Amino acid sequence: MIFNLNDPSFILALRDIATREPERLFGSFDQRPLTFGELDRQAEALAAYLRGELGIRPGERAAVMMHNGPEAIAILFALAKAGIVWVPVNARQRGNGLKYILEHCDPAVLFTDADLWPVVVDSGAAFKGKVLLLGGAEDTISEHLEGKERLDAPAPAMSELYALMYTSGTTGKPKGVRVTHAMMAYALKSVELLCSIKPGDVFFQWEPFYHIGGAQMLLLPLFFDVRLSLTERFSASRFWEQVNASGATHIHYLGGVLQILLKQPPSELETTHNVRIAWGGGCPSDIWSTLQDRFGFEIRECYGMTEASSLTTFNAEGKPGSVGRAVPWLDIAIHDDHGRPVPTGEPGQVVVRETQPGVLFDGYFQNAEATEKTLANGMLQTGDRGWLDSDGFLYFLGRITDSVRCRGENVSAWEVESVTQQHPDIEECAMIGVAADIGEQEIKLFLKPKADRDIELHELHLWLKERLASYQCPRYLAIVDDFERTPSHRIVKHSLPTTLHEAWDSQRLH
């Protein structure tokens, strides 16, 4: 399968379905039906307003910082129709991290929920674009979704930008991944391979739209005869009730979701559902069979990155512990620290090469240095460790780069450390990942006080909570006299202890 990059975007499918079957269900949000006709009408009206009255040109950017909701879906489709580049912003982001993204992407317009607007203001972000709010007394989004205008403009080509998705997978500032319409189409085809889609399938989806995993699912009904059952967030206590009510055949997991479900009291609802497949990333091999036996679904693991059209590997064979084999349009290999292939079974860095054009991203937005490093020798340097078996199945071993996978998010050490070092009592700090009770990792932050200063850890914890997203806040804090350093004076992080007995634990407060 090769997509012609000169063809118009698949977003035309929304208008086609809406014209032929306006009452056909796209899906539902918290059991409220969403039809193709309604979504297309709202998207067209908003797209016409953005291109017409606001004068936003194709290729300009629109930042969207919103909670999951029907309006957010219509906004996404409107931007795609208008050729305006969508910049999804994590609704939990705040402070310097939010300020950097909003200033770096330089949006022509910002869409945000009314309750999140104060967070934007508090970040100090300076941008010149228009601000559109949803909800509250100053709601300016709803009226434009209810207009009657239609957009008289050609659809963007598959090769054009669909989104800038900022990722925090390395040691530096967040990087804007240039995601094309074609990359999203490949992402959907990967989901088809992983999930063995059948006509009439229902996907229960809780993942935020600002993640590539959530974003790709919003386009699935344009390609396949499926429906989405959407909700704002994951709820362990309501999960099986929601899944049963939706009639879902597929559920998605990430991070510690499966472990959380295992810890819930057994209920009749967890065995009377229609779920055929649970798919995602982060299922430990030691609970694989326990999950399948208790809940009666099949585990389907995958691995991927936004830079490679979301999914790179898929495990449709059910091989426990593996994230699967490469999708048909990508090749994977394992390299050592010098960029040389390693023998089968030996660990190293996972590198990815496209076998068809347009699958890998072409670079980060306004960041040539990071682009050159990540796309060295024409291959994607993932910064992840893994190994391949003799059948080509990949086994993921964690991240090489200086980041931590916490609560489903990649947390860059740069983001946490740059904020922490602004505290008046702190001279230096260093962040590492440590084992979590549930999920991937927890954050442990080491602190070196300034001379003649004392750090009150509970007070610091509250100070950080005001300046970091919830998933970025360290669980563990530890004070040190000094750090071991390299000849270039960098902190040697691998020498920092991962033990927890000596650390202050924020969860002991609850």
| pLDDT single digits (tens) 451-501 | 889 999 999 999 999 999 999 999 999 999 998 876 545 788 888 999 999
Which residues does the chain have with pLDDT short of 50? 169-170, 488
Helices (H), 286-367: 288-295
Q: What are phi and psi of 141, to 5 degrees?
A: -90, -45
Which SS3 state, helix, strand or coil, does residue 53 take?
coil
Q: Which residues pair with 251 in a beta bridge?
A: 204, 278
Domains of the chain: 12-298 (3.40.50.12780), 318-399 (2.30.38.10), 404-509 (3.30.300.30)
Q: Which residues make Cβ contacts (< 8 Å) with residue 338, sequence separation at least 6?
A: none
Contact between 465 and 402 under an 8 Å Cβ cutoff? The reply is no
User: How far apart are alpha carbons 68 and 66 in whole angstroms?
Assistant: 6
What is the pLDDT at residue 168? Answer: 67
User: What dihedral angle (degrees, nearest 10) is formed by the CA atoms of 76, 77, 80, 82?
Assistant: -110
| CB-based contact 366:352 (threshold 8 Å) | no
Dist. CA 104–CA 226, nearest whole Å: 37
pLDDT value at position 170?
42
Q: Quickly count helices (H) and strands (E) in the chain.
A: 15, 25
Whole-number Å distance between alpha carbons of 56 and 132: 14
pTM here is: 0.85
pLDDT (0 to 100) of residue 410: 80
Total Cβ atoms within 10 A of residue 258: 24
Greatest extent of the chain over all pairs of C-alpha atoms, in Å: 73
Q: For residue 169, what pLDDT is reported?
A: 46
Structure tokens that stand for 97 in this block: 């991290």
Give me the pLDDT at residue 397, please: 84
For 182-193, the pLDDT digits (tens) are: 999 999 999 999
Residue with tokens 């899906």: 27
